[in-house]
Homo-oligomer: A and B are copies of this chain.
Amino acid sequence: MTKKASTGTRRAVPCCAPLAEEPLSETDAADLAATFRLLADPVRLRLLSIVAAAPAGEVCACDLTGPLERSQPTVSHHLGLLTEAGLLEREKRGRWAWFRVVPERLAGLRDVLGPGPAEAEPPARAAR
């Protein structure tokens, strides 16, 4: 059974239990893989990092075509994928589109890879 957010004080978007907790179901695995696939592209990773590292917390799309050395349709395509998946938020102001990261979404992914450093838990080695 998949319980959501059993670990209490985390508001990270729940997708499934950490990998080391229990084997993934077929549907959970497909869902997770689809999300990780978004991070499996260098252009999208750089987009995420640029937006995430922006001091203002948001970046105009017009400032993203330059550093990535990709065409405008390509950047727009990747921004659309990241936004549709909930990793980015888009706000249109005038004729510009501004993007922000959705930190809870990344935190949810992070939790799948293992328990956080705060609750560092030894991997429960079963003695035989």
Interface residues of A (CB under 8 A from B): 3, 5, 10, 19-24, 26, 29-30, 32-34, 36-37, 39-46, 48-50, 52-53, 55-57, 67, 100-101, 103, 106-107, 109-110, 113-114, 116-120, 123-126, 128
Say which residue of B37, B101, B123 sits within 8 Å of A20 (CB atoms). B101
Would you give 28 A-B contacts (Cβ < 8 Å), ordered by A? Answer: A5-B117, A19-B53, A20-B49, A20-B52, A23-B46, A23-B49, A23-B50, A26-B42, A29-B42, A29-B43, A29-B49, A30-B42, A33-B40, A33-B41, A34-B40, A36-B39, A56-B125, A57-B123, A57-B125, A101-B123, A103-B114, A106-B113, A106-B114, A107-B117, A110-B110, A116-B116, A117-B119, A118-B118
Question: For A19, what are the chain B residues with a Cβ–Cβ distance below 8 Å?
Answer: 45, 48-49, 52-53, 106
Question: For A10, what are the chain B residues with a Cβ–Cβ distance below 8 Å?
Answer: 117
- Asked whether, in the complex, the Cβ of A110 is within 8 Å of the Cβ of B113, the reply is yes
- Asked whether, in the complex, the Cβ of B117 is within 8 Å of the Cβ of A116, the reply is yes
The distance in angstroms between the C-alpha atoms of A22 and B40, with both chains bound, is 18
Task: Say how far A14's CB is from chain B's closest CB, in angstroms.
Answer: 14
Task: Say how far A106's CB is from chain B's closest CB, in angstroms.
Answer: 5
